[in-house]
Structure 1
Amino acid sequence: MYELISGLAPYHDVSHDESLAIKICLGLRPRFNIEVPQLIVHLIKRCLDENPLKRPTADEIANILCSWYVEFNSQMELKQKIKESKEINNKILGDSSISSTSSPLSYKTHSRAIYTSRLINFNNLPESKNSDDYYNLYDDIISKEYSSN
């Protein structure tokens, strides 16, 4: 979900190593480089909860998205929030009339960012948790603790 909205693979700019695994266990989550409507941020945060039992199922996500679609067609407030997000993103990313051959969301992937299945054997990882301020942040999905990383 994060990748579809942001156009970025999670943690594309850092090495996928034991250090990243530890930070994720301690509450690190991907950061948006664009404006995202708040209700979508809340859904993403649920999807990234450290406790798998608190994450929504695929059926729940489908139902949520369907309800948003129905609301979108009947609710001006939701339409306005999406319009505002698009306007902000156009300012962040530049002119939206850029040709499809040069994406405004193009990025370089870290040479040690690996997105294929592989066996990872990290010993002594800390117990997984959400960051202490994870649910208190409403404008982003990342902890302030990790905002400089």
Structure 2
Amino acid sequence: MRICLGYRPKIRCEVPQLLLDLMNKCIDAEPQNRPTAKELSTTLYSFFEDLKNKKTELYKQVKNIKNLDKNLLTYGQVKYQTHPQAIYTSRSLNLSKLSKPVNAVSRLIDYEIPNDQVNESCYAILQ
């Protein structure tokens, strides 16, 4: 629930700066500052291609991190302990009384996208 107050999780392991910047964009409190699905897809594809070239910044960052910690797979593992008498089920949460996020200036916008634009956009993304 703290995320509703504007808190964002800290990245607790070594991550290339380029990926860290992208993650921070994705969790920005302002939706218009977050990348679109298409922008995200393009960026991730670019990163994937960069990993093939030893001269790129991303390749160098990943290699540096691998040299720092050979055991990244075990670094961030979390062990959960469940209570034997607890009931673990999904349920609706009453979010009507949440305070406004501390780092957001969002406002309600009434906007309608015509069906032909939606279909064109979906088709373009699937290409």
| CA positional deviation for 1:123 | 4.5
The answer to whether residue 42 in structure 2 is matched with residue 71 in structure 1 is: no
Structure of greater Rg: 2
Question: Which residue of 2 is the match for residue 89 of structure 1?
Answer: 69
1:83, 1:116 → 2: CA distance? 42
Gaps in structure 2 of 5+ consecutive residues: 105-127
1:116, 1:36 → 2: CA distance? 33
* Greater alpha carbon shift after TM alignment, 27-36 vs 41-50: 27-36
1:31, 1:111 → 2: CA distance? 24
The answer to whether residue 101 in structure 2 is matched with residue 121 in structure 1 is: no
Q: In percent, how many aligned pairs have the same letter?
A: 35
Judging changes above 3 Å, is the alpha-carbon distance between structure 1 residues 45 and 104 closer, same or farther for their aligned structure 2 residues? closer
Question: Which residue of 2 is the match for residue 35 of structure 1?
Answer: 14
TM-score (normalised: structure 1):
0.53
The answer to whether residue 28 in structure 2 is matched with residue 49 in structure 1 is: yes
Judging changes above 3 Å, is the alpha-carbon distance between structure 1 residues 116 and 68 closer, same or farther for their aligned structure 2 residues? farther
1:127, 1:110 → 2: CA distance? 32
2:81, 2:21 → 1: CA distance? 28
Aligned residues: 99
**Counterparts of 1:5-44 in structure 2 under 5 Å?**
21=1, 23-44=2-23
